[in-house]
Amino acid sequence: MMNRRSDEFRIAVLASLVLAAMLLLAGKLWYVQVARGEEYTSRIRNSSQVSVRLPAVRGEIIDRNGIPLARNRASLAVEFYLPEMVRDYRARHGEVPMRNYRTTVRGMMTEKSEPDIVKIINEAVMPRLTQLGLARDYNANQLRLHFRNDTEVPYTYIEEMDFDTMARFAEHDVGLTGVNITARPVRRYVYGALGSHLLGYVGMPSEIDKEEAGRFNFYQPDTEGKAQIELALDADLKGTAGARILQRNAKGQIDGEIERRAPLPGNNVQLTIDARVQYITEKALRVVGRAAAVVIDPRNGDILAMASVPSYDPNSFIPVISSAGWAELTGDATDPLINRALSAYAPGSTYKIPVALAGLRAGLDERRLNCSGGVRFGDKVMACWIASKNGAHGTLDLQSAIRVSCNAFFYQYGNAAGIDEIVAAGHMLGLGEKSGLPLSAEASGILPGPEWMRVNRPRERWSSGQTANVSIGQGYVLASPLQMAMLTATVANGGTSYFPRLVDKVLAPDGSVIRQEPVKVRANLLEQGLGAEQIEKVRRGMWDVVNRGGGTAPGARLAGYEVAGKTGTAQFWRGGLKDNHTWFIAFAPYDEPRYAVSVIVQGAQSGGGVAAPIAAKILSDVFKMEEGAPVKIASLAPAKGSFQFVSSVDFGRAIPAALSDAPPEEFAVSEGMVDAAPPTVRPDADDEGTVKGKKPNIFQRIFGGNKKKEQKPSSQRP
């Protein structure tokens, strides 16, 4: 009896336990499927989805007439998703090869371990690519650094894939996990080297937004501006990234696309540049090896052209520049990356124009001064250029002194005006300070005077001899071609000194105006102590330079148009050899000026014989354009630099420039620097990354020795 009751009790307890377990299981199922069903469903859905970031489309850069200078094109690339390759290797082999490396952690050298990504790729990927004729050499060290630091970003294995390579990828089932063909927008500079020093270039970002990258399975970054307009207006030009959401099945294969959010283009930037005038200017400059020119609209300060030679093709930076290409650019002593239009040089006799305005402002309107071939200051005689020809200019007024460019007159005239007056006039004209243009590496130049000397040359003392030197654009004076063009525009328009304007407006993709850059006036000389008739005296002196006998620039005369100008030659030595900086500034037409031009040529005989004909060629072709002659803008190859000395320029000859032999090698000393972010440079292949001649191994046979035996990919890439 007791045993029977004991058995019944055990059965009851067991039944209770079973019932309790069933109730617990039912409760758990309710909790998972009902109470938190949506949450767990979302987790399952997310784990089976693949998110791909689509890079933004960069806005265009266009000229004042809407001609595109920088736009976008589609580019195909082969990318490696390295973490997926490691996971696939581990799944196939059970483990991955490891390697040790040393790195600094909190200031201490530490040894760490990581998957040997190079060995994995060389064993698991390269044999198959080699079999299909798709393998390319690569830099193994760069690959390791990328894997270590940028796992969110795929490694670009082949850039700018050509049609034949694309066709082979399309024809064969490559069957490699982590290998993907990506279409992405890349920059295209429509006319090659045209405007390269203005447009700049783009490259891969210096840093990746880790937080944003963490929201995607596969992250494709946007390019960013690295120099000039591309850099300065990067925030306006960059667009909004898009995304693709793909569905992965239980086998890890992509079944299809669930959702797509197209990337949005950035805003367009419209410049004041006229692409036709820019083309004319660059073509004219190419007769010499080192030069710059700026063309300004004197009615508002708009920059119509800004050119510098030698030049470079920004397309060579897209998508990346080779290490050899970058070394060639940076190793070129003629400095093709430097924008000479923004660099500062001794302006020579072109500086007599601001000195003339300073003297007029000081009341020297009727002052006549004698040139006997030189002027004594203390125990030093400062000669006029005509003394080298055993001559003298005699007694001159201001207009005549400008025409013959008499140094002796301006030595005395500048001292009569006083250095403080010269400095004040220089500030009104924008000398000695940056313009504020959205361009890097702009030189402020030097507007020297007693205060400047106190700060920069505290051991020296200002003297009348230094004022005399300043008065002819020598000594400490430095100015850029842009500054001299703006100065010329002020004289041309009768006294309004504008700030230069390069960006006209920022436009939305639909063409609506987001931001209009205003015209800005720096100073009105008519409100600063100068009269219209005084400015006209300077204008008439510049007219005489070109159009009267004895003027220093008869080579700038144009049939049907009156040109006014001023020559300048600043003595300069490089490596102990003569390398004169020769200038010409001009405006035209005289009565109603529409163009102000500044030209500098390095390594030339004289402003009148070299720089003036180039300025005249620019103006002549621009006026022909106005009269209806077509300007067929074509892509330009980079202008080559040269240290050959230029004795004269005549566009009427078959070979316009008379050049001497290049100076000896020690003459070629680089003169400047480029203020820009470094580009994306593709390193050369190293030994570990050299795939030519590598023999397929057993891994190739795993993927299939012929098309019939090839395995299907374990997972497709988006």
Q: What structural domains and CATH numbers belong to the chain?
A: 50-271+685-709 (3.90.1310.10), 275-667 (3.40.710.10)
- Looking at residue 702, what is its pLDDT? 38
Per-residue pLDDT, averaged over 317-344, amounts to 92
- Which residue did the predictor score with more confidence, 375 or 322? 375
CA distances from 101 to 105, 180, 557 (A): 12, 29, 70
Percent of the chain with pLDDT over 70: 88
CA pair distance 661, 150, nearest whole angstrom: 51
Residues 641 and 332 sit within 8 Å (Cβ to Cβ): yes
pTM above 0.75, yes or no: yes
Residues 261 and 246 sit within 8 Å (Cβ to Cβ): no
- Looking at residue 703, what is its pLDDT? 39
CA nearest to 376, candidates 293, 257, 464 = 464
- Looking at residue 583, what is its pLDDT? 98
- Looking at residue 710, what is its pLDDT? 39
- Looking at residue 46, what is its pLDDT? 47
Percent of the chain with pLDDT over 90: 61
- Looking at residue 249, what is its pLDDT? 66
Per-residue pLDDT, averaged over 576-588, amounts to 93
**Residue 515 host element (H or E):** strand 513-516
CA distances from 686 to 109, 563, 588 (A): 26, 59, 58
Over residues 265-309, the pLDDT tens digits come to 999 999 999 999 999 999 999 999 999 999 999 999 999 999 999
DSSP conformation class of 264: B
User: Does pLDDT of 715 surpass 50?
Assistant: no
User: Does pLDDT of 698 surpass 60?
Assistant: no
**Residue 684 host element (H or E):** none
- Which residue did the predictor score with more confidence, 618 or 83? 618
- Which residue did the predictor score with more confidence, 150 or 242? 242
Per-residue pLDDT, averaged over 418-424, amounts to 97
Residues 503 and 233 sit within 8 Å (Cβ to Cβ): yes
**Phi, psi angle pair for 516, to nearest 5°:** -110, 125
- Which residue did the predictor score with more confidence, 621 or 698? 621
Residues 450 and 331 sit within 8 Å (Cβ to Cβ): no
CA pair distance 641, 9, nearest whole angstrom: 105
Q: Where are the beta strands (DSSP E) in 365-460?
A: 369-371, 374-377, 380-383, 394-396
Per-residue pLDDT, averaged over 204-220, amounts to 82
User: Does pLDDT of 587 surpass 60?
Assistant: yes
Confidence of residue 31 (pLDDT cuts 50, 70, 90): low
Q: How far is CA 458 from the centre of its chain?
A: 37
User: Does pLDDT of 43 surpass 50?
Assistant: no
Tokens of 573: 């030595």
User: Does pLDDT of 376 surpass 60?
Assistant: yes
Cis omega before residue 55 (within 30°)? no
User: Does pLDDT of 253 surpass 70?
Assistant: no
Provide the H-helix boundaries in 457-549.
Answer: 464-471, 481-492, 532-547
User: Does pLDDT of 537 surpass 70?
Assistant: yes
- Which residue did the predictor score with more confidence, 499 or 147? 499
Confidence of residue 148 (pLDDT cuts 50, 70, 90): confident
User: Does pLDDT of 714 surpass 70?
Assistant: no
In sequence order, the β-bridge partners of residue 577 are 574
CA distances from 282 to 130, 156, 633, 712 (A): 46, 36, 11, 55
- Looking at residue 516, what is its pLDDT? 97
- Which residue did the predictor score with more confidence, 436 or 213? 436
Q: How far is CA 296 from the centre of its chain?
A: 21
Per-residue pLDDT, averaged over 590-597, amounts to 98
- Which residue did the predictor score with more confidence, 50 or 507? 507
- Share the mean pLDDT of the chain: 88
User: Does pLDDT of 1 surpass 70?
Assistant: no
Least confident of 157-166, 182-191, 272-281: 157-166
Per-residue pLDDT, averaged over 129-140, amounts to 86
